Amino acid sequence: IEPKPGVVSNELNMKVYAPSGKYVEIPLHGYAINKDLFLLELAKKAYLAGAEIRVGERVESVLKENGKVCGVRTVKGEILRGKVVVGADGYNSVVAKSSGLDNSTELIPTYQYKMVGLELDSYNSGRIYVGSMAPGGYAWIFPKDEQVANVGIGVRPGSPKLYLDKFIKDRPEIFRRAKIIGVGGYVVPIGGLAKEYIGDGVILIGDAAGMVIPFTGAGIHSSIAAGKAVSRTIAEALEKGDTSRKALSSFEKEYEGWIKRIKDSLRAMRVFERLSDNDLNELANVLDYEDVINLANGIEVGKVAMKLMKHPLLATKVAKALL
């Protein structure tokens, strides 16, 4: 999809703030989008590619014959048959539950306000804040334009709303004139890949399978890659006439690069969630933007660890655990 006006509301780089206030600027550009228009564009492209779109339809359960998934039943009682069912229906997946797949993984609750009237030095920079003000997660400010921004937090344990309200209260220089115009919250699977996500005639992808980068909670890129990998896997399975769990498990070969990234990111997250604010401040003095990107996304974690080995404090607390 082209990043055209309407779909894209803002173009952002990113700043990651340590508890001290020092930040690492990441000079890469991303997009703040109008999700409704974005999904409309996706639906149009899917239709033109031959997909059948059913608006407002919900699946009640999968169908099984001889222990193998062979379709779905809708809440209206309609039966839809298929050789493979793909569950891309989120962490609370109906497909997973009704097919008997254990897609459990660790979750983090988040809470977000849509706010107007923030006072920022730049409306083209997203902000991420780490430290004890967001235990086990982080807070964010993502400007949608020069008037509106998404302000949210993910924490574990604890109430994300309480932590978000305190985050806002502690930053009057940004929020003194700001007003809440929208509220939302969601749960993100950050514990790595689900215990089970492939069965006979069924496969889970996206949040339903825990295909999220644990350190950041980002799941768009990994889910797009999963969609491509599962399409190749299913095409090959149909060509061979075998849609068993064993045949569909070839997905893991198609997706192996992302599986490694998710595992490495989870390992990095486990290390960083034990660090104090002082430790994070030290990291902000040592790491550059490429290090931050690599750690967050589970890329070249060993290379970053070797860099940290030269630091007397961080060598034992961080580097050795990452190697």
Domain limits, CATH 3.50.50.60, in the chain: 54-105+192-263
Residue 112 pLDDT greater than 90, yes or no: yes
pLDDT band at 62 (very low <50, low <70, confident <90, very high): very high
Tell me the residue ranges of DSSP E strands in the chain. 8-17, 23-33, 59-65, 68-74, 79-81, 85-87, 107-116, 125-129, 138-143, 148-154, 179-189, 198-199, 202-204
Smallest CA-to-CA distance from 269 within 307, 217, 233, 201 is with 217
Residue 141's pLDDT is 97
Mean pLDDT of 274-288: 89
Q: What is the pTM of this model?
A: 0.89
Residue 85 pLDDT greater than 90, yes or no: yes
Residue 195: partners with Cβ closer than 8 Å, 6 or more residues away: 102, 103, 104, 105
Residue 104 pLDDT greater than 90, yes or no: yes
Residue 180's pLDDT is 98
Residue 262's pLDDT is 96
Residue 323 pLDDT greater than 70, yes or no: no
- Helix (H), strand (E) at residue 256: helix 256-272
- Flag the least confident range among 7-21, 52-66, 286-300: 286-300
Residue 118's pLDDT is 97
Residue 120's pLDDT is 94
pLDDT band at 35 (very low <50, low <70, confident <90, very high): confident
Q: What is the pLDDT of residues 226-265, one digit of tens each?
A: 999 999 999 999 999 999 999 999 999 999 999 999 999 9
Mean pLDDT of 144-158: 94
Smallest CA-to-CA distance from 93 within 228, 210, 184, 255 is with 210
Smallest CA-to-CA distance from 175 within 136, 215, 120, 128 is with 120
- Flag the least confident range among 25-29, 81-85, 86-90, 316-320: 316-320
Residue 210's pLDDT is 97
Domain limits, CATH 3.30.9.10, in the chain: 8-36+107-189
Strand bridging mode 68-74 / 59-65? antiparallel
Peptide bond into 157 cis (omega under 30): yes
- Calculate the average pLDDT of the chain: 92
Domain 8-36+107-189 CATH class label: alpha beta
2-35 CB burial, b ≥16 within 10 A, e <16: eeeeebbbbebebbbbbbeeebbebeeeeebbee
Smallest CA-to-CA distance from 312 within 320, 302, 322, 323 is with 320
Alpha-helix residue ranges (DSSP H) falling in 16-142: 35-48, 94-99
Residue 4's pLDDT is 77
Residue 34's pLDDT is 86
Residue 156 pLDDT greater than 80, yes or no: yes
Q: 205 or 316, which is more confident? A: 205
Query: What CATH architecture applies to the domain 54-105+192-263?
Result: 3-Layer(bba) Sandwich (3.50)
Residue 2 pLDDT greater than 80, yes or no: no
**Are residues 11 and 33 in contact, defined by beta-carbon separation less than 8 angstroms?**
no
